Structure 1
Amino acid sequence: MSRRTAVVLFTRDLRVHDHPALATACAAFDRVVPLYVLDPALADRSPNRTRFLHQSLAGLREALRERGGDLVVRRGDPVAETIRLAREVDAEGVGLSADVSRYAHRRERRLREECDRHRLFLRLFPGVTVVEPGALRPAGGDHYRVFSPYHRSWLAARWREELAAPKRVELPDGVRVGRLPALPAGESPQAAEGGEGPGRRRLDRWLATLDRYDDIHDDMAGDETSRLSPYLRFGCLSPLAVANRAGDRNGPFVRQLCWRDFYYQVTAAFPEISTKAYRRGATEDWRYDAEAMAAWTEGRTGMPIVDAGMRQLRAQGWMHNRARLITAGYLTKVLGLDWRPGVEVFSRWLLDGDVANNSGNWQWVAGTGNDSRPYRSLNPVRQAERYDPDGRYVRRWVPELASVPGKAVHQPWRLPDELRRTLDYPPPLEVPGADPVWLR
């Protein structure tokens, strides 16, 4: 009797625990070929994420080898390489975790067409979100546009069953597995290590502090948020497994996972989210100032809390969520610059930068997205005084201000002239026609 074979194409799901496509294939087929294709169309967008990806692939290969299998690595067009491998191993079909970006939809459509042409089946699986995009729909609409009603529906939804890692993965004989790419240098010296193992260890440590989350998650200097977002972005951790371990669906941490799902279902319905204003009738009267954009990008705007956030981004490939709101709000609502270059800067540096959450959050701040109060703005000084009350976050990332005491670090332009002249720190950027009250 012939032995049945399937290919599982990995994309943003680099784990073995709670991986529906892998678990189902291992249960239904005699032999399973886990495949990752290094796609040149996605290469070199972010040195930080490339390094994290390659670390994650090494961890995935190790986990599969522990189960008797291996990770097959190919380079090129993911559709062509998947079909080629499926024919080499005489596979019946391909399993793939569904994703929401424009590129993912195009890849899925092309793969389906090629599978049909070669008489292979293609099955899509959940696993990138807690609740599948499109599973929850408002009356008369294809997706939720506002978070609160989505959150209510999400809380009441029935979640799928979490799946154990397969005990054994068996490859066909003679499969050329290919070499993993050499580990590249990232740009951020303090970037987190990629992979399912580091992600699971970080989750274990984080859960020990979960009962304090509501009190600590906005403390910028305390730096006690989960930092799980890169592991969720690459699928090193299952978002469902994280939500289950966190427990209380109504808790503030699980609510953040719901926000993540919310933007995925928005992006599934509106794949232009990175380039086109989501909100109908949004006013986009942006100015263009290359010098101001460069100063913001490099963390030298003269607004300490903004510069601290942007310097943390460069050093760690990550930024505190409150700092993301402040820096994005400063670019769009204070400097009056377009949100799209901001999306690109974050996308280059962030380990967790993805289409749905990066672009969705930027549009929310810019007033072009899902915020029900699109004209709100964040006063950066008030935000700094509230969430970095003693200035420790600013002093950590803007050492030029290390000698400035207390809350004065948030407004160095108010210091006595003799002290201000000793600081190697620029004055705030001037915005034509603007008169920010905090500079008076």
Structure 2
Amino acid sequence: MAHTSIALFTRDLRVHDNPVLHAAAAAGQCIPVFVADEAISRSPFHSANRSAFLADCLADLDQALRKRGGHLVVRKGDPVAEVLELVRRHGVDEVHVAGDVSGFAQRRERRLAEAVDLCVHETSVTAVEPLSLTPTGNDHFAVFTPYFRKWQGVPRRGVLRAPRAISMPRVSPGKLPRAPKPDSPELPRGGETTARKLMNRWCRKDILDYESAHDALAADATSRLSPYLHFGALSPVELLDRAGTESEGARAFTRQLAWRDFHHQVLAARPQCSTKDYRPHGDRWRGANADFEAWRRGRTGYPIVDAAMRQLAGEGWMHNRGRLIVGSFLTKNLYLDWRLGARHFMELLVDCDIANNQMNWQWVAGTGTDTRPNRVLNPLAQARRYDPDGDYVRRYVPELAGVAGSRVHEPWKLSGRDRDELDYPEPIVDLDAEEFRMARGKAG
């Protein structure tokens, strides 16, 4: 009887450089499986944007598997129960799955390991296995710089070719999920096919300007590959291999991918930090109020903040510099709980995963791994530095499209008539960094 394996797809929705699929296909007959976890669809992590992007990824993956003689087997429900039913019905010998750090993933892995012969592949979601690098006297790195030094020295596995052919038993494919209407009208298209086209263009040319231009908000000089990394339509190992280290841009881009691995190892060691402060400072954050609603809708009266929030609403994605600006504004100027911001990002960001979202929010709020917890990013200073001509603001805040040059960042300074003609709010708060520093731990 042929050896039969299940390749359980999770956040690795690709055929190229996929350790799970590679191992399962090489062992004999392979059943490629994806289970739509109903627990996730009922959780706060559920998002119409990510569901639409996921549907694209699954349809693309199914087509890639069919070209190789197989197809994707889709089930809905409890992943462990659905996998066990396939194991029983088809005499499956082993199950392959990618290691991950979220609470959902860890519980799924533990339950599967108790019931089947489980093979966990740790360098599919991240380039370096979480917690494989540790400093003396600790179970994880709490500071990025020493982590990055060690991370750079880790030999990476070779990039795996996509299987030429997949042999699988007769299994009912099930129904691919239909893409729901996304909340963001300009959501990017998901799937490995699109991801590889973007990667090829990025690594061939655009990466060269990354070091000098990645913070320029209007230039749009970032890779926009983060959604594809989140869903595993791209492999971080292959992306690092393709990017190389020959140029300043490539080295700067590599550093950002290391940040991604860094956050994953922090959450792997401290899973409670998905909801609790990594480094508590006694903050008594304010809860949701009118200021939060203004921030959420992009109506704070600070154009650079509002532009970034509206980019998020329209595209399901936000420039990384924008994420830092709006995060600092929410926590340091409005003194609102970082978890409110993290939850809103979770609702809309197509690239949102627990490790990067929660730990980046904690970093900017001063409760995470940042060694300068009182760091405040003044939105006006950020606007002058990273959107000096105001092009980013005018692109996303149409009420201010007629305000020329850098004046667009301070519309309250316009003359009375010009100001009155704008359908744009007054600033909801006075900028005072010292107020945050004095309030930390004292706000009611």
Give the TM-score taking structure 1 as reference length: 0.95
Maintained 8 Å contact 2:16/2:161: yes
Letter in 2 for 1:278: Y
* Structure 2 residue 26 is the aligned partner of structure 1 residue 27: yes
Residue 32 of structure 2: SS of its match in structure 1? strand
Q: Which residue of 1 aligns with 2:441?
A: none
Pair 434,245 (structure 1): closer, same or farther in 2 beyond 3 Å: closer
- CA deviations on 1:23-72 (whole Å, 9 max, x unpaired) are 011112x2000100011111261100000001000000000111101100
* Structure 2 residue 391 is the aligned partner of structure 1 residue 392: yes
Return the offset for 1:211.
1.2
* Structure 2 residue 335 is the aligned partner of structure 1 residue 339: no
- CA deviations on 1:219-246 (whole Å, 9 max, x unpaired) are 1011121000000000000000000000
Maintained 8 Å contact 2:12/2:232: yes
Pair 143,433 (structure 1): closer, same or farther in 2 beyond 3 Å: closer
Equivalent of residue 126 in structure 2, options 113, 124, 129: 129
Q: Which residue of 1 aligns with 2:48?
A: 47
* Structure 2 residue 227 is the aligned partner of structure 1 residue 233: no
Q: Which deviates the most, 214-223 or 225-234?
A: 214-223
Q: Which residue of 2 aligns with 1:15?
A: 14
Pair 289,31 (structure 1): closer, same or farther in 2 beyond 3 Å: closer
| Number of positions where the alignment pairs a residue of Structure 1 with one of Structure 2 | 428
Maintained 8 Å contact 1:296/1:310: yes
Maintained 8 Å contact 1:74/1:178: yes
* Structure 2 residue 243 is the aligned partner of structure 1 residue 242: no
Residue 7 of structure 2: SS of its match in structure 1? strand
Maintained 8 Å contact 2:325/2:379: yes
Alpha-carbon distance between aligned partners in 2 of 1:289 and 1:429, rounded to the nearest angstrom: 15
Q: How does 1:311-390 map to 2 (within 5 A)?
A: 311-390=310-389
Return the offset for 1:167.
1.0
Alpha-carbon distance between aligned partners in 2 of 1:363 and 1:373, rounded to the nearest angstrom: 12
Alpha-carbon distance between aligned partners in 1 of 2:95 and 2:400, rounded to the nearest angstrom: 56
Return the offset for 1:274.
2.2
Maintained 8 Å contact 1:274/1:340: no
Return the offset for 1:288.
2.9
Residue 331 of structure 1: SS of its match in structure 2? helix
Letter in 2 for 1:104: A
Q: Which residue of 2 aligns with 1:178?
A: 174
The percent identity for this pair of structures is 52
* Runs of 5+ unmatched residues, structure 1: 116-120
Residue 134 of structure 2: SS of its match in structure 1? coil
- What is the root-mean-square deviation in Å for CA atoms of aligned residues? 1.6
Letter in 2 for 1:389: P
Alpha-carbon distance between aligned partners in 2 of 1:367 and 1:46, rounded to the nearest angstrom: 27
Pair 276,37 (structure 1): closer, same or farther in 2 beyond 3 Å: same
Residue 272 of structure 2: SS of its match in structure 1? coil
* Runs of 5+ unmatched residues, structure 2: 437-444
Pair 12,289 (structure 1): closer, same or farther in 2 beyond 3 Å: closer
Return the offset for 1:114.
2.2
Q: Which residue of 2 aligns with 1:424?
A: 423
Letter in 2 for 1:237: L
Equivalent of residue 36 in structure 1, options 20, 24, 34: 34
Q: Which residue of 1 aligns with 2:103?
A: 102
Maintained 8 Å contact 2:308/2:326: yes
Alpha-carbon distance between aligned partners in 1 of 2:114 and 2:435, rounded to the nearest angstrom: 55
Q: Which residue of 2 aligns with 1:159?
A: 156
Maintained 8 Å contact 2:378/2:431: no
Maintained 8 Å contact 2:209/2:221: no
